[in-house]
Amino acid sequence: MGTRRYLFTKVMQAFFTLVFVVCFNFFLFRILPGDPARILARNKLQPAEAVAEMVRDFGLDQPLFPGQFVNYIGDTVRGNFGISYKFHRPVTEVIQQRFWRTVLLLGVSTLIFTVLGILIGIWGAWRRGSAFDIGSHTFSLIGYSMPEFWLGLLLLIMFAVIIPIFPVGGITTTSPEYTGLRAIYDVAGHMVLPTLTLVLAYIGQYAIVMRSSLLDVLGEDYVQTARAKGLRDVHVRRRHAVPNALLPTVTLIALNLGFLVGGAITVETVFSWQGLGLLEYEALRTPDYPLLQGLFILFSVAVIAANLIADLLYGYLDPRVRVA
Amino acid sequence: MSTPSQVVGDIPKNARQIAWIRRRRALKRSWRTFRGSPMGMIGLVILTIFALTAVFAPLLAARSGLSPVTAPGQPFQPPSGQYWFGTDHQGRSVLTLVIWGSRVSLAIGLIATLISVFIGSIVGILAGFFGGWRDVSLMRLTDWFLVIPFLPLVIVLASVMGGGVGGGGLGLTAFVIGITSWPSSARLVRSQTLTVKERPYVERARALGASNWHLITRHILPNVGPIIFANTILIVAIAILSETTLAFLGFGDPNAISWGRVLDEAFGNGAVIAGNWWWVIPPGVAVVLVVLAFTLIGYALDEILNPRLRRR
Amino acid sequence: MSLLSVRDLTVSYKLQSGEVPAVRGVNFDIEKGEVLGLAGESGCGKSTIASAILRLLPEGTKVGGEVLLENENILEMKPGKLRAVRWTEASIIFQGAMHALNPVKRIGDQIAEPILIHQQADEKEAMVRVGGLLEEVGLPQRRLRDYPHELSGGQKQRVMIAMALACNPSLVIADEPTTALDVMVQAQVLKLLKELQRDLGLAMLFITHDLSVLAEVSDRLAIMYAGRIVEQGPAEPVFTDPKHPYTRALAGAFPAIGDAQYRMKPSGLGGDPPDPQNIPSGCSFHPRCPVVVAECSDTDPILYPAGESRSAACLLVRQPAGASTTSEVPGD
């Protein structure tokens, strides 16, 4: 029954965080200094009636409480974030169109850097002090200090311009247009550099955390017990050390998700990968407030959901938290 | 109980002085340990170089080199004897840009960090010291902020406050970074406050009737101070990275040259397509070096403050 | 032929500050079914010996001498043979069971693990064995589904004991098995160990700093100081009539409850055990010895005969009755 209570607690926490984010989003755009109408109209040379119309569209002529707030909640729940200034289409529609492209890029990258990062960390810890260990540790530190988009720029210049192996941007080649298997191959080709950028940028963190937590675990008594029982080193590592060392790594994955979203924004921009990240960039350059608002909610929800999954995964891996 | 009366020489006058003497000694010890850490020293050397570059920028590169009007070079030139890092789209020497950029990048990084650590420390100390509902509510708030993805939040804030790209000055960037990155400091400070709070001398002081203010300023703060300091160093690294990213996205004063701004201009003016690697590499390397320096120093400090048994 | 024969065992750890000799030439034998108690203060090297016997010391540690288990030298075994010997012929009950169990695995699986590794049974049989072992140590069978954090300190120690017996070893090394427990629980666990040892005919190396515990449990005693054995012999005589001043101090340091005289007798020992990197010249005990004489600071005593099957490394033991020869006493 400890498990059920743990599950319930975590889901409830996620829910309340979500509620907070939704309310926070409301205040972000309305209660900050400055007349909202002016904010909307800034940088745009708009005649007075157009501004007045925007005010009405945005519901700003209503009192803040309860009028605007209630409308806002209602809209948000229904997924209505208004009309995008830039695209002149409903925000939800714009987001939907680009959604899967980002999922593809982030999904593949995350899979690669998580798995590889963990493996490198394990190997580095097991062969502590070796050339591999020192090398990978240094590489990780440098990767941690590097803005991901800069790495993207470098890779782009290196492998798309100076040595033109990969395309300079976009998701697909526009002319000629490919179909079927060639289309998939085409997308894959476009995906290589942005994926490589994200992988190189984030793999270091996982390697470092895994390595240090495995080093800590290797000093624990139960590892000694396992060896004394006659297990081979491989099994000691795999069955006793790593499962315990994975725990901080899972926590890190959860903590990092927020930054991963940021990485997606800048990397998609550099590679003109028309996903949600590039969309955010385009929205902020306009500035397209309805779109910004919708994206903000979406990103926050994604991170909250991913955090919840990470919490549940942690609960599965570590029986101690289920009782606590 | 008698307070020792004033005596000539090294003998301290009262408890306060004793505390300060001890702290100075501890500081000297820490410095010696720090000197022994290769990572820390490398970081310190790099940081010093950049700090000096920032301070002495006018001596290293003519300020006129920053203005597109008075910039002497031809645009888009690759590195040469005259322009070690080549030129940008307006004929400015990239080397000049990197040198002067150190001022903005470092300044914003430091200001943002001060704001962030200030807020975070107050929240952390209050939550840890008072406990109860104050602790719970502050920590709940902190957790919520931790979950919200950093860059989208910063983008939204900067947009709304500064009217989007191109608006808002340096102060805005620093401010926005500062008010969005306090949560991690808060958690750290809180847990350290909790530890210190349990220590016997705090209990004794309380039993003697010390006020909360006294406890916080005289006991908690001095002992939480070192951790805050080590954490601050690491936060600066993150702040500089954030500033670079924000500038790249277009925020901040367009006339203030920071390394991120240089990259933004490079990207926006076709440096990639043209293969102008000399424009892109130097500012990025500068960022990497500075961030690495702060990170190394931060790790070295962490080792000093949390010495773990040296495993063979 | 003894079950376990330790000959001239030396262990030096490699630290950043240099080499630290933890064990400086130790000899002892354990016969089948015999309990040898090994006592000494912290840092004297007794836990090191426990780890050394099964070659569990960290990499880079220098180990010299011989450890003969059933006449085969463990220190020279090939890795495969070593792993096969571990747990099946000799097992360890580690100090502080709090951390010696894997927190994320069920205890039943942990106890069954060595059985399966050494292919002594298939999964089903193994679990049956586990159930039986748990009962032997006084725990209900259903506990095998529990995780370590769901057990109390005493229960965890019982699990460690059950685990140590899983492959029917002939030798069990118990490294401070009761130290981390409350006094009441200590007594229970001790009783359990005694019973199991007797019923199963186990040989045991019982390591502790608490001499009074050993007096109950051991057949023979060996007292360690600064990496060497300074006295050995049958348990009762050593405890009631110690020949080495250190043993005398140790024996006096642990009060027997109800011993009214204890409060009157001053006992206990001043000073600290020597730093292994700075062992005193001559007899390593001389700075703290209550009966020290001039010779003690330059002559390093070996184990001199001190009675029937007894020996003690004290210059004062060498002297009486003129029949003193500085002949070495092999650890018989």
Mean pLDDT, to the nearest integer, of C223-240?
88
Two tokens, residue C55 = 């070659």
The pLDDT tens digits of the residues spanning C250-280 come to 877 655 555 555 555 555 667 777 887 788 8
- In chain A, the largest separation of any two C-alpha atoms, in whole Å, equals 83
Inter-residue long-range contacts of A311-314, CB under 8 Å, 24+ positions, other chains counted: A311/A10, A311/A254, A312/A7, A312/A10, A313/A250, A314/A247, A314/A250, A314/A251, A314/A254
Two tokens, residue A238 = 């795999």
pLDDT of residue B46: 92
State the Cα–Cα distance between residues C268 and C253, nearest whole angstrom: 5
Whether omega for the bond prior to residue B200 falls within 30 degrees of 0, making it cis, is: no
Task: Compute the C-alpha angle B37/B39/B41, nearest 5°.
Answer: 70
Residue B310 sits at the chain C interface (C-beta within 8 Å): yes
Strand pairing report for C311-312 and C304-305: antiparallel
Question: Phi/psi at A251 (nearest 5 deg)?
Answer: -60, -40
CA distance B189 to chain A (A): 18
Whether omega for the bond prior to residue A287 falls within 30 degrees of 0, making it cis, is: yes
Q: In the complex, which subunits touch A with 3 or more CB pairs below 8 angstroms?
A: B, C
C-alpha closest to that of C227 among C68, C10, C82, C62 = C10
State the Cα–Cα distance between residues C159 and C131, nearest whole angstrom: 11
The pLDDT tens digits of the residues spanning B104-131 come to 999 999 999 999 999 999 999 888 888 8
Least confidently predicted of B72-86, C66-80, C102-116: B72-86
Low-confidence ranges of chain A (pLDDT < 50): 43
**ipTM associated with this complex:** 0.84
pLDDT of residue B2: 45
The pLDDT tens digits of the residues spanning C289-298 come to 888 888 888 8
pTM equals 0.81
Residue A102 sits at the chain B interface (C-beta within 8 Å): no
Q: A234 CB contacts (<8 Å, ≥6 apart)? A: none
State the Cα–Cα distance between residues C2 and C33, nearest whole angstrom: 10
Two tokens, residue C256 = 């027997």
A contact test, residue of C59, C104, C115 with most A CBs within 10 A: C104
Record: contact B160-A295, CB cut-off 8 A: no
Record: contact A145-B160, CB cut-off 8 A: no
Record: contact C58-B310, CB cut-off 8 A: no
Two tokens, residue A175 = 């002319």
Whether omega for the bond prior to residue C305 falls within 30 degrees of 0, making it cis, is: no
Instruction: List Cα–Cα distances, A188 to A74, A102, A195, B41, B144, in angstroms.
Output: 40, 14, 10, 44, 37
| Chain B residue with Cα closest to C60 | B312
User: What is the pLDDT of chain B when averaged over all its residues?
Assistant: 83
Residues of chain C contacting A235 with CB distance shorter than 8 Å: 117
Q: What is the number of helices (H) and of strands (E) in chain B?
A: 14, 0
User: Residue B18 — very low, low, confident or very high, per pLDDT cuts 50/70/90?
Assistant: confident
* C-beta of residue B115 within 8 angstroms of C-beta of residue B175: yes
The pLDDT tens digits of the residues spanning B255-308 come to 788 899 999 999 988 888 888 888 899 999 999 999 999 999 988 888 777 665
The pLDDT tens digits of the residues spanning C188-203 come to 888 899 999 999 999 9
pLDDT of residue A55: 65
Record: contact C54-A228, CB cut-off 8 A: yes
Range 148-187 of B in CB contact (< 8 A) with A: 148-153, 155-157, 159-161, 163-167
Q: How many CB atoms lie within 10 A of CB C14?
A: 14
Task: Compute the C-alpha angle A209/B142/A109, nearest 5°.
Answer: 40
Record: contact C100-A319, CB cut-off 8 A: no
pLDDT of residue B237: 92
pLDDT of residue C1: 80
State the Cα–Cα distance between residues C127 and C134, nearest whole angstrom: 10
State the Cα–Cα distance between residues A230 and C86, nearest whole angstrom: 5
Record: contact C113-A229, CB cut-off 8 A: yes
pLDDT of residue C332: 39
User: What is the pLDDT of chain C when averaged over all its residues?
Assistant: 84
Record: contact B149-A259, CB cut-off 8 A: yes
Burial environment of residue A308 by CB neighbours within 10 A (0 to 12, 13 to 18, 19 or more): buried
Q: How many residues does chain C have?
A: 332
Two tokens, residue A11 = 């889901």
The pLDDT tens digits of the residues spanning B36-94 come to 888 888 999 999 999 998 888 888 777 777 777 776 777 888 888 778 888 888 888 88
The pLDDT tens digits of the residues spanning C112-170 come to 999 998 887 888 999 999 999 999 999 999 888 999 999 988 899 999 999 999 999 99
